Amino acid sequence: MRNNFYAPIVDAMKKYSADKVLPFHTPGHKHGRGAHEFLRELLTPEGFRQEVSLMDELDDLHAPHACIKRAQELAAKLWHADETIFFVNGTTSAIQAMIFGTLKPNDLIFVPRNAHRSVISGLILSGATPIFLPVEFDAEFNLPLNVTVKTVTRAIKKFPQAKALLLVSPNYYGVAADVRKISELVHAAGMILLVDEAHGAHLQFSDELPLSAMDSGADLAAQSTHKILGSLTQTSMLHMRKNFSAQVKRAASLLQTTSPNQILLASLDVARLQMEVDGRGLIQAAVELSKNLRGQLKRIGLKVFDAPKNFSFDPTKVTVNVSELGLTGAQAEEILRHELKIQCELSDAANVLFLLTFADDESTVTKLVDALKLLPARESIKISSTNLPREISRAKLSPRETFYAPTISVKLRDAIGKICAEEVTFYPPGIPLLMPGEEISAQVVEQIEREKLSGGKIFGVEDSTLNTIKIVC
């Protein structure tokens, strides 16, 4: 059988199901016989028969030697890595594993301001200390862009002892850093390049998209295979070069469940097969569809975020500014969801963002355009501009030191000048405004107060109103 039509995990599961084994093992539903009717509505009888794990012929995610090993090898080949690890705990675990597996206590790592909250947990596990890098910002759309080559050059000069650099590329809005050039700078300085490529599992399947992290010279790249491709939610892949393999695999084994869901693993295997067989056609079709959508939205008078100067861009992330309609992003999302039955990927103070994937077609695009035409126009509002810190700064304490330090809660304004003891994240898009171990500035407090007024959901803090904040004693 040709490799590109072969899904080894799926093949092993089908053989197990066809063997008609009488189960006296987990899971307790016993091939679905004991499942409640509500659960039986969600899975097919065949799905229940294959919803097993830890059978010898189904392999072991922690010591793969059979079908999982073969599936990971096929994925590594397709995504141009030396080795690939499958994750069923989400890209959060993949990011944690690449940090935990490459860094040790007291190592310094460059971390951009737009890092996902999973980076903090990876730093707590590893004991490394972050050096925060500013990201460029688009004032018109009020959204973060990415880290520049110039910033990385300055950072390496200022902290030549750093061990690694972590990039988020592309970010939630589709803006990608110049990973190839940054890779050259980082490696010339003897450092490691880690890439949170959660939103970029599809990049290498179209020449009109930013160059993928592995093709740009990254040492490790974590991808959310479920975000744009066809695997099930919480499934991801971590791609890496061979010289990082042993320690990163140890880290992954510590972080992954010992009872991985076989259907989740199979979905990764199938997503790889789908991309290997039809990937370039499917992804290019999504790119063309996004161009069509962008044109239609502009013709009806909506502002659409396009490729920013000095950055590469993924056009399948379609960000629409609604502030000129007199709406905040949260208000537009509410109207779209509950009145017009359209759900966006995220909303922020000024925008709503929509993902175009190979699952979309002209009919779904038409429905989206028709819904956006119906958004009510009110008096135009001015959104307060986000003022992110511009300096390259080292955390006062490592996230691990902060995690174990004694803390107290104080009023938000009284925390200025103190060391933050918790993470302050508004979700979406899940970008921390404050990280554990960082000194709290007046500028960031003002930004937090603006975000509170915009109605964003707050994560990572003990006081969900953020009237108070925890600081290190």
Q: Where are the domains of the chain?
A: 280-373, 395-472
- Name 436's bridge partners: none
- Give the model's pLDDT for residue 85: 98
CA-based nearest residue to 59, from 51, 69, 49: 69
Q: Which residues pair with 133 in a beta bridge?
A: 112
256: closest CA among 386, 62, 68? 62
Cα separation of 354 and 364, whole Å?
A: 12
Q: Give the class (CATH, top level) of 395-472.
A: alpha beta
Query: In what side-by-side order are the strands of the sheet with 424-427?
Result: 431-434, 424-427, 457-459
Please tell me the predicted confidence (pLDDT) of residue 55. Answer: 79
CATH, domain range 280-373: 3.90.1150.150
Q: Round to whole Å and give the CA distance between 363 and 366.
A: 5
pLDDT for residue 1: 42
User: What integer pLDDT is reported at residue 388 of this predicted model?
Assistant: 66
pTM of the model: 0.93
Structure tokens at 359: 């699952």
Backbone φ and ψ of 245, nearest 5°: -60, -55
- Write down the pLDDT at residue 429: 52
CB atoms within 10 A of CB 281: 12
pLDDT for residue 320 = 98
Task: Give 10-residue mean pLDDT values along the chain (473 residues).
Answer: 75 90 89 92 91 85 95 98 97 98 97 90 96 92 94 98 98 97 98 98 98 98 97 97 95 95 96 97 98 97 95 98 92 96 92 97 98 90 69 93 96 96 75 87 88 77 93 95
